[in-house]
Each structure stands twice: as C-alpha cells, then as structure tokens.
Amino acid sequence: MDEQHQHVISIRGLVNRFGRQVVHDHLELDVRRDEILGIVGGSGAGKSVLLRSILGLHGPNEGDISVLDHPIRHHEPGPHKKWGVLFQGGALLSGLTVQENVELPIALHSDLPVETRRELAVLKIFMVGLDLTAASKYPNELSGGMRKRASLARALALEPKLLFLDEPTAGLDPISATEFDQLVSFLHANLDLTIVMITHDVDSLFSLCDRVAVLVNKGIIVDTLDELVKHPDPWIQEYFGDPRAVRARAAARRRSASRRGPG
C-alpha cells in the first residue's frame, strides 16, 4: 500500500451495545492518511459512541481499534499528543482565558519554558483567525464562532497529525459556518492533517470531505459523495435527496467547475 493510502485509523469488528440495544454490530472502518472523512447518521446511529470509542473514552463490547498504529484501550494512554479534538460544545475551561486554554495542553504534555509555551499558544490563536484581543478574553465573552475557533486552536496546540471535529459548525450562522469550513480546508492543506468530522451540515460534507462514512443498520457504508448519492439504502437516499443536500451538491459542483476554469 502506498503512502497516500496508509490507514491512520483501523477498526475491526466493533460492537457497542447498551443493554439489549445494539448500536454497532461488528463495524469496520479504515481512515486514510491525509483525507477528510465525514461521519453522518440518524439519531441513535452511534456517531458520538464511535468517536468516544476511537478516543478511548468508551470501552466497546468487542472489536479492535488502532490509531496511528497504536492499539486503543479504554482509559489507557493513547497517542494523545498526536491527535486533537474539537468537541461539540467546545469544552473550553470557563475560568481560563483563551490563551490559557490553548496553552494548557502544551504545559501538560511538554517541558517547554513558560515564555515558549505562551508564544506557541499565540501562534495557534493567530492560526485560527483570532487576535490578541480575543486571546485575553474568557470563553463567556466570545461569540459562538470565536469559541469554535478558540477550541480549534487548543485542539491544534500540540501540532497533531489527526484532528477530530464533532459538529464543528453546529450553532453557527451560515456565513460563520462557511468561514469555519474555509478555515478547516486551509489547515488541512497546510498542516498535513488527517481530519475525521462528525457533522449534519451538508454544506460542510460537500465542500470538505474526500469520503463520507454513513452509519446505518448498525454498520457503516463508506464512499465518495458521488457514489453515496447513488446508494440504494433508504436512509441514504432520503438524506442526500433532501433539498438542502441537493443544493449543497450543486453548489459544490459549481465551485469545482469554477476552480477548473473554462476548457
């Protein structure tokens, strides 16, 4: 297998059940190096459970998970320095400023001098489009979009190779959501990142994702969007046949044609 298609995440035989309810039934998934993989699914399909299983925050009933060639075990140290996570609510510590929030993982996982940590934190804050005015504010003083960016700066603090985004545009207005998608695209192109993104935002799916994983029938179907829209599964047909998805797909095609130019 060539470098482009090496797997940074490999899941085999994943089973998650809660009482009699089976959420994942021997699910299998590979995430390729350098891709942006979107994860979608209906309510109760197990998107968050899948993410928590990958991060070692939830112990599955069966199965094997490997991240960056490291076996993942529930509550055992994984390659945490090599991944960053943007949780849906941001999960910023309310008693710390933005800069202190971003600096915290650097302080916990390195022995860098204080001044160097501060400089790195400021660099990450600038990288996500915030400035020093925002750096000195507390999370409750920020807009929703600014909190998302601050959380993203913290997720990037340790220069990860793998970035997890949980509903990154949830709660944002359309303009802020588009700007955030553009930021994610820029970071992916310039930081050698592999990105796994749970989202319901069809605009994000069509503008960002190389492939999409759909959680259906306790399993998973993974393909490019061009192929998924033709898949016969009823939920997939309903999801991608929704008017919003149709408009998002058409807009993505127009952007692609515009980039290619005439000819």
Domain contains 147: yes
For the chain, what percent of residues have pLDDT higher than 70? 95
Q: Taking the model in full, what pTM does it have?
A: 0.91
User: Using CA atoms, how far apart are residues 9 and 31, in angstroms rounded to an integer?
Assistant: 5
Domain contains 131: yes
Domain contains 183: no
Whether the per-residue pLDDT at 35 is higher than 90: the answer is yes
Domain contains 200: no
Domain contains 34: no
User: And the tokens for 167?
Assistant: 């509903």
Domain contains 124: yes
Domain contains 178: no
129-178 residue pLDDT tens: 998 899 999 999 998 889 999 999 999 999 999 999 999 998 889 999 99
Spell 182-205 as b/e; 16+ CB within 10 A means b: ebbeebbeeeebbbbbbbebbbbb
Residues spanned by the domain of 146: 89-159
Number of domains in the chain: 1
Whether the per-residue pLDDT at 261 is higher than 70: the answer is no
Domain contains 133: yes
User: And the tokens for 239?
Assistant: 């999801």
